[in-house]
């Protein structure tokens, strides 16, 4: 779902304070993500930046397909009841985020804590 659909599904999300846990998470394909926690719902979500399709035209120019830029893709990961608990679960996140497989570390960490179901 895109970010607007995420907010429309539960209006508490839009009004709530959100705490960000980094904007530069990367996966093995170097796609960038942002991790946030919604205080009023306890939801932890990951937002992926648009990944545009690109192709080379007959003149050698790279064209970015604008249709792929329409939205930020949101994945709801799970629920953590308090900011303090999420800080405990994500201990070491700034260092992990800086690594080349930050999103993979994040997934493994949240699974181990029972936030994300296998």
Reported as a single tens digit per residue, the pLDDT across 88-113 is 999 999 999 999 899 999 999 999 99
Number of H helices, E strands in the chain: 5, 7
CA distances from 86 to 3, 89, 96 (A): 22, 5, 15
**The two three-digit tokens of residue 1, written as one number:** 């779902």
User: What's the pLDDT at 50?
Assistant: 76
CA distances from 77 to 38, 43, 48, 59, 63 (A): 12, 7, 13, 43, 33
Please list, in sequence order, all residues whose beta carbon lies within 8 angstroms of the beta carbon of residue 98, skipping any fewer than 6 positions away.
Answer: 24
**Region 65-70 average pLDDT:** 53
CA distances from 8 to 12, 61, 75 (A): 9, 39, 14
Reported as a single tens digit per residue, the pLDDT across 6-39 is 999 999 999 999 999 999 999 888 888 999 999 9
Domain boundaries of the chain, sorted by first residue? 3-112
CA distances from 97 to 9, 29, 36, 63, 72 (A): 28, 14, 13, 30, 19
């Amino acid at each position: 779902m895109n970010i607007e659909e995420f907010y429309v599904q539960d209006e508490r999300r839009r009004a709530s304070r959100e705490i960000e846990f980094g904007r530069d998470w990367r996966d093995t394909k170097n796609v960038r993500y942002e991790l946030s926690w919604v205080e009023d719902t306890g939801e932890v979500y990951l937002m992926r930046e648009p990944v545009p399709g690109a192709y080379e035209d007959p003149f050698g120019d790279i064209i970015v397909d604008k249709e792929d830029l329409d939205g930020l893709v949101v994945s709801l990961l799970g629920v953590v009841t308090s900011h303090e608990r999420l800080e405990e679960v994500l201990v070491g996140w700034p260092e992990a985020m800086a690594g080349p497989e930050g999103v993979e570390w994040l997934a493994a960490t949240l699974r181990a804590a029972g936030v994300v179901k296998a």
